[in-house]
Structure 1
Amino acid sequence: MSIYVGNLAYEVTEADLNSVFGEYGSVKRVHVPMDRDTGRMRGFAFVEMESPSQEDSAISTLDGAEWMGRTLKVNKAREREQRSNSGGGRGRRF
């Protein structure tokens, strides 16, 4: 499972997140999505930790905490919802 970290300052780096979440256990992976058009981060990230207990500890402590002038939103990441094929008008409908 991974952790969703929202409301991040645009200056936050993977190293920053590794440092903060590393206080709660071993960080396996950090993913910081970037905006295709601007090339800057999108204001959220995903963090994977070694164990569920480490994730729970980080979530309970960091959710609502202020960091880099922002109030963090930290919770268990949800599965990505499938997009429907109803938009764009690129195909024929039968």
Structure 2
Amino acid sequence: MKLLIRNLDRHTTEAELRALFEAYGQIQSCSLVMDKVSGQSKGFGFVNMPKPGEAKAAMKSLNGKEVAGSRIRVKKAETSSLQPDASAP
């Protein structure tokens, strides 16, 4: 299950984000969204957890938790209807 993590402190690292979620289970992937010009974090990222039960536990426990002075928001990432279909020619 892919989770969207918002309101991250701009100095939070990918390793810190991964460690936060690893407490709840296996992490398939973890990434911060970075600004292309400045190279700084945009304050949000994604964590992909293969087991839905672990992802839901992480979402429930971490949503609203204060991390590095910011109260993070965690929810299931929605697939955008604006993204092109990978199976389309």
TM range (shorter): 0.7 to 0.9
- The verdict on how the C-alpha distance between 1:81 and 1:36 changes in structure 2, with shifts beyond 3 A counting, is farther
Alignment partners' CA distance in 1, 2:65 and 2:33: 21
Q: Which residues in structure 2 correspond to 1:1-80 (within 5 Å)?
A: 1-80=1-80
Pick the structure with more strand per residue. 2
| Whole-angstrom distance in 1 between the partners of 2:14 and 2:79 | 21
Percent identity over the alignment is 33
Query: Which 4+ residue blocks in structure 1 deviate beyond 3 angstroms?
Result: none
Question: Following TM superposition, by how much is the alpha carbon of 1:21 offset from its aligned partner in structure 2, in angstroms?
Answer: 0.2
TM-score, normalization: structure 1? Answer: 0.83
Q: Which structure: larger Rg?
A: 1
**Aligned residue type for 2:33:** P
- Runs of 5+ unmatched residues, structure 2: 84-89
Q: Secondary structure at the match of 2:33?
A: coil
Q: Match for residue 86 of structure 1?
A: none
**Gap runs ≥5 in structure 1:** 84-94
- How far the C-alpha of 1:55 sits from its partner, in A, is 0.4
Size of the aligned set, in residue pairs, is: 83
